[in-house]
Amino acid sequence: MSEQKEQNSIPTSKVERSAKFVKTGFKIGGNYIKHYSKKLFNPDLDKSELNEDNASDIYESLSELKGSALKVAQMLSMDRNLLPQAYTDKFSQSQYNAPPLSGPLIVQTFRKYFGKSPDKIYDKFNLKSSNAASIGQVHQAELNGQKLAVKIQYPGVGDSISSDLKLVKPFAFRLLGISGKDLDVYMNEVEERLLEETDYELEVRRSVEFSNACSGLDNIIFPTYYPELSSKRIITMSWIDGKHLKEFLATNPSQDLRNQIGQALWDFYNFQQHELRAVHADPHPGNFMITPEGKLGVIDFGCIKEMPEDFYYPFFSLTSTDLLGNREETIKAFRELEMILPNDTESQIEFYYTMYKQMISLFAKPYMSNTFDFGKTAFFDELYGFGEQVAKMPEFKQARGVKHFIYVNRTNFGLYNILHELKAEVKTDTYKPHLVAV
């Protein structure tokens, strides 16, 4: 991990956190004044410098606040269609490289939940974190000769989710160009998942359940969890040695090894979606390690998305069958998924039917063959090119689709992006949807 200045405190009260947002807003306002002043003398000036300045100021502020505010930035960074490149580049740092907390704050957290400092619990405990992200950071420890990873949640994160989302909502909606009233149902979904993600006792239970359920998959390993050394804000698990994706790719791995890791990822996600109907919904590279033996280590189960039947059946019928060839049945599925709304006119129905059909046809290409080469850029150029086209259309400034799309789309596009970085060719017919007629 690169050297970063440690934080000695995190604003935890609503007043402190609100003041931080206001201060950042003034900085952004100053950036706009500077940009348009320059534009008076250079009418051809683009917004690249403005975007970089704003992205840096916003990320600096969110990094100090941590928690759900920084988590939203992380989520936005995972889809390159949503934000200008400067924001995506800066916000992606939150995936596994946020500024860490200082040692005294770590000791304070242990005393609050265990009544003693970490050196009284473990044989060895490194106060310097090995990985710091949006909600917590990881420290290396040792007990009875066993190497451990100890994840510690930042103070105040779980108590500030609702107020943070209210503060970050105008900023997020402005970047996305969508009115706030249309996204309340989605913000409620994000809040529910974040509340779950800050409950480390729930995460330990889910981690054990999912790692047991997925234990039969090839080339995947999971940590061993220690509930007796965990609490509502601390998780202790066995340490998995390995490299994150960028570090792994820097070793110039063979194509066979890339394919092996890619296949493990594909099977891991599709097994969950189609066999468990619940999925690890945070597929950013910081949540995975690639071991020296060429296995995929899954080190975080904080965000789990369950898929109810009234979403699962119409969605995967569209992506995994020839249903799109039947206009009437496709429109029926679009209505069930709230992609076409009850009050839409005939012309709106035709427009959204045409656009969504094209969008899903692109997304579903990997599912429509027995193997798929994610290393080919043509698929992603077409997919994201279409996304950029749609993002500029006023018809898509109204939020559409049931709330489940937020995390299911995030999951699948995140998976696609990692497979693309791996340049992996995978067998895509290993786990098929279990469908009934829509």
Instruction: Please compute the mean of the pLDDT values over residues 138-148 and round it to a whole number.
Output: 96
Q: Between 349 and 181, where is the model more confident?
A: 349
- Structure confidence at residue 3 (pLDDT): 43
- Structure confidence at residue 18 (pLDDT): 61
- Structure confidence at residue 399 (pLDDT): 75
- The answer on pLDDT for 292 being more than 70 is yes
- The answer on pLDDT for 204 being more than 70 is yes
Q: 161: closest CA among 133, 198, 127?
A: 198
Instruction: Please compute the mean of the pLDDT values over residues 170-199 and round it to a whole number.
Output: 71
Q: Between 40 and 230, where is the model more confident?
A: 230
- Per-chain mean pLDDT for the chain: 82
Residues facing residue 131 across a β-bridge: 138
Residue 434: exposure state from Cβ atoms within 10 A (0-12, 13-18, ≥19): exposed
The residues, any chain, with a CB within 8 Å of residue 271's CB and separated by 6 or more, are 214, 217, 431
Domain boundaries, the chain: 242-438
pLDDT in tens, 344-375: 999 999 999 999 999 999 999 998 889 999 99
How many whole angstroms separate alpha carbon 321 and alpha carbon 172? 35
- The answer on pLDDT for 4 being more than 60 is no
pLDDT in tens, 372-396: 999 999 999 998 888 878 877 888 8
Q: Between 247 and 15, where is the model more confident?
A: 247
Q: 238: closest CA among 289, 292, 305?
A: 289
pLDDT in tens, 36-70: 565 556 666 666 776 677 667 666 666 666 656 66
What's the pTM?
Answer: 0.80
Beta strand extents in 146-301 (DSSP E only): 146-153, 220-221, 234-238, 278-280, 288-290, 296-298
Contact 290, 243 (CB under 8 A): yes
Instruction: Please compute the mean of the pLDDT values over residues 420-428 and round it to a whole number.
Output: 96
- Structure confidence at residue 59 (pLDDT): 65
How many whole angstroms separate alpha carbon 117 and alpha carbon 108? 8
Contact 352, 338 (CB under 8 A): no
Return the top range by mean pLDDT from 130-134, 168-172, 321-325.
321-325
- Structure confidence at residue 384 (pLDDT): 83
Q: Between 105 and 262, where is the model more confident?
A: 262
